[in-house]
Each structure stands twice: as C-alpha cells, then as structure tokens.
Chains A and B, each alone.
Chain A
C-alpha cells in the first residue's frame, strides 16, 4: 500500500542513452512533481503536473520530458543522457498545487557513466 512509488530504484546507464523513470501515486492527489537531488543534497524542483497540465517547468534541459498518462502517474523521460544527469530523482505528490504537504517516492538513483 505504498503511497508514492518509483521504478527503478537504481539506474546505471551510459552517456547518450535514453531512459525513463516511472512514478505512481495511490493517494488520489491532483498534483505530482519531479525533483532532482544533486551530490550536495540540494533539491530542485523540475516539473509539476496538476490534472495533467504542466504548471511548473523550471529551466531544465529539454532532454527531460514529463509524461502523465493519467492523474496517478507522472513518468520522467530523459534523452541523450549526460554525466551531469547523475543524481537522485524524487517523485512527489500533493492534494493541492503548492500550498500543501508533499509525499515523496523513495527516489531513483541515476548514474550515468
């Protein structure tokens, strides 16, 4: 009965590859997010989706694209992976957009070699 789940937990891949990380929430929340946590533990929001509409798009490379087939899923696709993409990626969800507590997935540790 995991609230927010992500797969895979670990992802090791080579530069130039394309990969996806999946996220699902069973909380019935309206908004989902993707965060990137770098090696210095700094968390930065990348995207959020509210009722399948993109409402935040921080200045991330367009190699990153969020895809939401329905309200419970927000997948992250990354094309042409680079060394600097190595990080932990967290998915999160909240009932409201912004002013509400967020529930995080377990994270996906991406390593690009």
Chain B
C-alpha cells in the first residue's frame, strides 16, 4: 500500500513566486517523522526539512517551510521566493520512529522554475 502520495508529477512556478508541493501520507502510528528531499538534475539527494509528528509548530528552514496538517495527514512543502536553482525533483518521505524503522519515499514532484 502506498504510504506517501505526491499527486503532482510536475509543476511550473515563476521565479520569485511561492510554490506548494503536496504530500499526503498514510500511517496508523502515533510517532513518525516527515521529510522533504531535493534531487537536482545532477542526481544527488539533498535533505531540506524535517517535521516530527509531535512537533506543534510547522518546521521552517530558510525559504522552505512544511505545512503540517496532522488530521488531514498532509505535509506540504512551501518554497517561498522561488529561484532558478530550485528546479529539481522533490521527494516527500516518512519514517516510523519506533516501529523499526521503515522509511518510505513518495514518487516525487518535478519542479520547474521559469525566469
């Protein structure tokens, strides 16, 4: 069963605008972590942001913020003031913190930032 769902295979955004990448997840665990990773065309995987299921505030890291809505089981990534270098694949992922250690990735969203 799909644990992480990213429904947007591809997205376009104008440079300097904000963009939201969607992610929903499925779990019956109470304790889990949610992650976003960026994969540029060069292929490396870059960690962006982490949200724990018990964290009350949404995580933020620079221009990245995670819009965590626990009841809806969504963990959308918001990128503010998009830059050309943000063009990449973005993966949402989830881990079960105390359930020995399954780590699931979504299928990814390809973001293209237009000048």
Interface of B is mostly: strand
**Interface 1/0s, chain A 90-112, versus B by CB < 8 A?**
10100001111111101101000
How many Å lie between the Cα of A107 and that of B35 in the bound state?
A: 19
Which of these binds chain B: A20-28, A41-49, A69-77? A41-49
User: Which A residues have a C-beta under 8 Å from some C-beta of B?
Assistant: 31, 33, 40-45, 48, 50, 55-56, 88, 90, 92, 97-104, 106-107, 109
Task: Take A55-B101, A99-B97, A101-B50 as given contacts and tell me if A42 and B33 are in contact as well, using a CB distance cutoff of 8 Å.
Answer: no
**Interface 1/0s, chain B 101-113, versus A by CB < 8 A?**
1111101100000
User: Which B residues have a C-beta under 8 Å from some C-beta of A?
Assistant: 31-33, 35, 37, 39, 43-47, 50, 52, 89, 91, 95-105, 107-108
Instruction: Identify A99's interface contact among B32, B39, B44, B108, CB under 8 A.
Output: B32
Q: How far is the CB of B19 from chain A (nearest CB, A)?
A: 19
Instruction: Identify B100's interface contact among A41, A55, A100, A106, CB under 8 A.
Output: A55
Contacts of B100 in A (CB 8 A): 55-56, 97-98
